[in-house]
Amino acid sequence: MIYPIAFFLSALLLGSVTVGMLIGHWYLIDTGQSIDPFVRIFKFFVAALLLQSGFLLLSVLWIYLAGAPSTMESLRMLWAKHSTLLITRIVVGQAAPLILSWMIWRTLLIPHTMAATGLFYIALLGVFVGEILGRQILTLSSLPF
- Which of 127, 98, 111, 106 lies closest to 21 in space, CA to CA? 127
CB 41 within 8 Å of CB 17: no
Residue 8's pLDDT band (cuts 50, 70, 90): very high
Average pLDDT over residues 63-72: 85
Domain boundaries, the chain: 2-141
What mean pLDDT value characterizes the chain?
94
pTM score: 0.92
* Cα distance between residue 121 and residue 22, in whole Å: 9
Q: pLDDT tens digits, residue range 95-134?
A: 999 999 999 999 999 999 999 999 999 999 999 999 999 9
Res. 55: pLDDT tops 90: yes
The whole-number pLDDT of residue 30 equals: 87
Q: What is the pLDDT of residue 116?
A: 96
Q: Which residue has the higher pLDDT, 93 or 144?
A: 93
Query: What's the mean pLDDT in 28-33?
Result: 87
How far are the Cα atoms of 14, 51, 86, 101 from residue 119, in angstroms, in the given order?
A: 15, 20, 24, 8
C-beta separation of 66 from 81 below 8 A: no
State the Cα–Cα distance between residues 122 and 11, nearest whole angstrom: 18
How many CB atoms sit inside 10 A of residue 64's CB? 11
At residue 2, the pLDDT reads: 86
